Amino acid sequence: MIETDVIVIGAGAAGLTAAITARKLGLEVLVVEKTAYFGGTTAYSGGAPWIPCNHVMKQAGLSDTRKAAETYLHAVLGDWYDEDRIKAFLDNGPEMLAFLERESEVKFKPFLAPDYEVQPGAARSRSLLTQEYNGKLLGEHLKLLRLPLPQLMLFGTMQIEGSDIHPMRKVFKTWQGFKHTTKLMTRFITERLQHGRGVRLANGNALAGRLLRSAIDAGVTLWNHTPALELVTEGGAVRGLIAQKDGRKIRVMARRGVLLASGGFGANAEMRAKYIPMAEHHWSLQPEDNVGDGIGLGVSAGGVLNDRNAGQCIWTPVSVLRQPDGSVLKYPHIFIDRAMPGSLVVDPAGRRFVNEGSSYQNFVKTMHARQLDTVYLVAGRAFLRSYGIGLARPAPFSERPYVDAGYLIEAPTLAALAQKIGADPSVLEQTVQRFNTHASQGTDPDFGRGADPHTQFRGDATHKPNPSLGPVGDGPYYALALHPGDLSTVMGLDTNANAQVLDRDGRVIPGLYAAGLDMNSVMRGLYPGGGSSIGPAMTFGYVAARHMQQAGPSDTYTVTSPTLEAVL
């Protein structure tokens, strides 16, 4: 029998933060990861945590107050405000960041992004960015880190940060753009020659890479290819785990507790059909092994899957390229194109229905409310060449392969474009004409795009008079179909403020914790700002580890669970 203090199920942001924290607090920690790779959805992500009152914003000369954060969260969450868990999040989030920055390789930088909602108490730089990381520092473990989604990289394995995008778009237009792009390309080519791939890690890959390096350095035991199968329970308490390792079932006992951090159920078709609106039209961006294992284990031990939320996922509009081999590339339209000046989004009838630059959460919520499974991003050629549209990158990349593949719809006139998307030509023409009239003055009386700090920030800062608004220019014109999708689920197990899993009567299940997507989100399906998943995931991973350390070891166990008979 193997014994340790803490077992963590899943090596994403929540699990690895917990593992590093517990280890730094002197506990023995085992992380079991189902797949070949460490990093989970976190490695695909933007790597941005949302943490009010964080110390990092001070580097940008910004500050925040607890009162402002509470006011903002009350305004955004309304009746979904969960007093105890929000308090734990606000108390521990800044502490967790400072702890990781002090004790580990995990480092952040300020990001001037405003909160997503225009509400009292809103602020900037509660969303942070992870500092890029040199993958070489992971040594042989680099190959065990999940790569980002291929559709979000360039030239196969070149990772770029948000701050690279603007200069890269201006590669042949400004000296600064040329210099920046040349530097990145030179580095990438050198890395390709030396390592066969780009090793500059950015965004969520940098976060996952930094967490992985830190866990290894701290002495966490990390097992990949080791799915958790079953919890070992005794008298209602969780005492350990049965996992599959090297083709055998093994039992591991935990003196302090087991943390469920297996990353939700984004790839579980049955659960998606049950909990996601218009599920048959929805596209998930999560890895295919995130099928709700942790939630299932929690429920088997008496935990409760809570679906009483404002929504069950982080939504995002998605475009889809079906490739000749039958595979599908899903591109999340988080912000890069739809908030830029010179484009708009219309419903199948050819009418606008939303502030195109609104948060991904609000954009898709509006699609749900209107029962829209397909809408179209519409722009002219100048927009396509300047900003790109989805997978079709800006100049000097060619859009031709995407037009030929049927991903981008191209037409010489708006009327012809309308026909191709099945809209009434006169309706689309009128929509664009009205939009253009106001956009050229920097206003949007219909949906308020560009009027709030958030949509202004997500636009092109060099565009005047409004960074997010510009007329749709000359043809040829392009349309791209957008569908509802999700960056991850957020609906999970009921827990208390210590991240302990609760049973149907609200009692703690001793020895069982949940964090990240296995814990029902403290934001309850609302999205105050970029990072509202990773921020709480890391915070409650930290909280769980600290609680396990403070709670002390469980009593000596005499495990008699019948499932053990199956164990070799």
Binding stretches for ligand FAD (CB under 6 A): 9-15, 32-35, 40-42, 44-48, 204, 227-228, 261-263, 285, 287, 289-290, 293, 314, 332, 487-488, 516-517, 530-534, 537
CB of residue 111 to ligand FAD, shortest distance in Å: 10
| CB nearer to ligand FAD: pick between 14 and 336 | 14
**Six-digit token pair at 204?**
């969520």
CB of residue 266 to ligand FAD, shortest distance in Å: 8
Helices (H), 301-359: none
CB of residue 521 to ligand FAD, shortest distance in Å: 9
- DSSP letters for 55-105: SGGGGGT----HHHHHHHHHHHHGGG--HHHHHHHHHHHHHHHHHHHHHSS
How far apart (Å, rounded) are the C-alpha atoms in residues 208 and 203? 9
> In the beta sheet, which residues pair with residue 519?
493
Provide the 3-class DSSP secondary structure of residue 188: helix
* 8 A C-beta contact, residue 53 and residue 65: yes
CB of residue 475 to ligand FAD, shortest distance in Å: 32
How far apart (Å, rounded) are the C-alpha atoms in residues 6 and 26? 11
Indicate the residue type of 168. M
| CB nearer to ligand FAD: pick between 41 and 131 | 41
| CB nearer to ligand FAD: pick between 33 and 452 | 33
CA angle centred on 266, ends 278 and 480, rounded to 5°: 55
| CB nearer to ligand FAD: pick between 447 and 527 | 527
| CB nearer to ligand FAD: pick between 145 and 502 | 145
| CB nearer to ligand FAD: pick between 203 and 431 | 203
Q: Are strands 128-130 and 108-110 parallel, antiparallel or unpaired?
A: antiparallel
Orientation angle between helical segments 175-195 and 162-169, nearest 10 degrees: 120
CB of residue 340 to ligand FAD, shortest distance in Å: 19
CB of residue 330 to ligand FAD, shortest distance in Å: 9
Q: Are strands 375-380 and 343-346 parallel, antiparallel or unpaired?
A: antiparallel
CB of residue 17 to ligand FAD, shortest distance in Å: 8
| CB nearer to ligand FAD: pick between 126 and 170 | 126
Helix/strand/coil (H/E/C) assignment for every residue in 529-544 = CCCCCHHHHHHHHHHH
* 8 A C-beta contact, residue 312 and residue 344: no
**Six-digit token pair at 315?**
């939504």
How far apart (Å, rounded) are the C-alpha atoms in residues 256 and 265? 26
How far apart (Å, rounded) are the C-alpha atoms in residues 374 and 368? 11
How far apart (Å, rounded) are the C-alpha atoms in residues 23 and 438? 57
* 8 A C-beta contact, residue 502 and residue 514: no
| CB nearer to ligand FAD: pick between 334 and 432 | 334
CB of residue 153 to ligand FAD, shortest distance in Å: 12
